[in-house]
Amino acid sequence: MKKFLSIIVTKLIILVLKSKNKGSSFPGKIALKICPDILKHVSKNVETILITGTNGKTTTTALTSHIFNNAFIDCFSNSTGANMLPGIVTTYIKNYSFNKKVSKIGVIEVDEASLKHVCKYIEPKIIAVTNIFRDQLDRYGEVYTTLNHIKEGIKLCSNAKLVLNGDEPLLCSLEKIYNNKYYFGFDNFKNEESLVNLNVEAKNCKFCGEPYEYNFITYNHLGDFKCSKCDFKREELDFAVEDILESNINENIIKIKNNIITINQGGLYNIYNVLCAYTISMICSVPDYITIDSIKSFSKVFGRQEKFKIKSNSLTMFLVKNPAGFNETLNTISLNKGQEFSMGFLLNDNYADGQDVSWIYDVNLEMINNFNIKDIFTGGIRTHDMALRLSLVDENKTIQAFEKYEDILTYLESKENETIYILCSYTCMLEFRKFLYNKNYLDMVW
């Protein structure tokens, strides 16, 4: 009776909130109040793929779902990004049918700290982990705490296949007893840099504490590593980028297993996202040609290199939420060589952003001194903190600090035919998108 009541009440709440463009976690909270183990029941006939990690899980989840849909695989996903237990419960109940013969695939994004709670009730076919970076220290702690959260979830799912970033030392350190593992990464990378930055985490061997040696580094602490003392090193890769044929701010063209794959997004992190989704698709026996065509036709996820217009100006919105992702976003923008552009930095300190914003001092913002920047502005709750950090990059730069989104929009509308990159923390991205939606500059909130 509790199960039945939980499903019916939650489906009704979902319908009501959908009409108001609201709510992706609240219905699941109600469901859990009525029936605490409801997820166990509504996931029973679902073949589940869980995708977690610090950066890239939203894009990887959306891309994997896109590939499956193009392969005529009946699947659903938590596309709004509600990746904690209540949001995931909402997703399963929304797609639940009382017809027990109905079977679907769930491609589900999971918050790293929530994986162990979700895995109590779900028996996934695959658990994919994109990477582990320092992120929201007040929520997750340092990287080894995040790793332990993920390991606790994996331990509950002994039959799940693991899809892991092989360039991530923390993921290669998983004990041999854990499941069937598939590693993805870079076969080679044209980068003369083989020393990690001082601010990089996880640069010492997890087993003996000695620093890693690298044949190459892709970014942060990812790359072809080995311990300088013990025998710990990168695992053999099952799916690898053999070459990057083209790389610019709008596109990557790569080679995997002799397949040429076009990615309509710039940035190394997007190559990793594609690699993860490609590996999942291969394990699930999706034909190569469908996977490759789907990657090429994939549209960007909201707030992740999302492009839109404000009058005659072209805006691109980037989500930045930790030093590693922020630095790689700046590297991506640096591919726009020569062209003049303006930049906006929107920073909040809400719970979902991390209330400690000191991490912005670990970002290599000095990189923007090499950019051809026309104007810089800041916004969000911590607009003045962001402006102060930017003023330390170059005290001669004029930085406009806005306290209201309305003022930012007025400023943007006053420009003509400009290229503008806006880098937002998580809740800033959601708030500013919603604000632009209400001003008729965007077609949808999600």
Active site residue 375: no
Strands (E), 59-116: 75-77, 104-109
Q: What is the amino acid identity at position 444?
A: M
Between the alpha carbon of residue 161 and those of residues 124, 135, 182, 234, 283, the distances in Å are: 8, 26, 8, 19, 9
430 closest CA partner among 59, 82, 60, 161: 82
Phi and psi at residue 412, to the nearest 5°: -65, -40
Cβ pair 348, 427 in contact under 8 A: yes
Segments in 110-219 forming alpha helices (H): 115-118, 137-140, 143-155, 169-172
Give the tokens for residue 55: 């950066």
Domains, the chain: 2-297 (3.40.1190.10), 306-438 (3.90.190.20)
Measured CA to CA, the distance from residue 329 to residue 389 in angstroms comes to: 17
| Strands of the 75-77 sheet, one edge to the other | 75-77, 104-109, 46-52, 126-129, 161-165, 180-186, 239-248, 251-256, 259-263
How many residues comprise the chain? 446
Nearest to 244 by CA among 340, 335, 321, 168: 335
Residue 324 in 3-state DSSP?
helix
Exposure string of 95-128, with b = 16+ CB inside 10 Å and e = fewer, is bbeeeeeeebbbbbbbbbbbbbbbbebbbbbbbb
Q: Which of 138, 353, 356, 394 is catalytic?
A: 356
Helices 405-413/426-438 angle, 10° precision: 60
- pTM confidence score: 0.91
How remote is the C-alpha of 101 from its chain's centroid? 33
- List, in sequence order, every beta strand (DSSP E) within 187-269: 212-219, 222-227, 239-248, 251-256, 259-263
Provide the β-strand partners of residue 108.
50
- What's at 137, amino acid-wise? L
| Residue located via tokens 């404000």 | 310
Please report, for the chain, how many H helices and E strands are present, in that order.
15, 17
CA–chain centroid gap for 415, Å, is 31
pLDDT in the model for residue 173: 82
Helix (H) / strand (E) element for 407: namely: helix 405-413
User: What does the pLDDT profile of the chain (446 residues) look like in tens digits?
Assistant: 888 899 999 899 988 887 666 667 899 999 999 999 999 999 988 999 999 999 999 999 999 999 999 999 999 999 877 899 999 999 999 998 887 655 689 999 999 999 999 999 999 999 999 999 987 665 566 788 899 999 999 999 989 999 999 999 999 988 765 678 999 999 988 876 666 666 677 888 888 989 999 999 999 899 999 998 998 999 999 999 999 999 998 899 999 988 999 999 889 999 999 999 999 999 999 999 999 999 999 987 777 888 989 999 999 999 999 999 999 999 999 988 778 999 999 999 998 888 889 999 999 999 999 999 999 999 999 999 999 999 999 878 899 999 999 999 999 999 999 999 999 999 999 999 999 999 999 877 66
- Return d(Cα 28, Cα 92) in angstroms, integer: 9
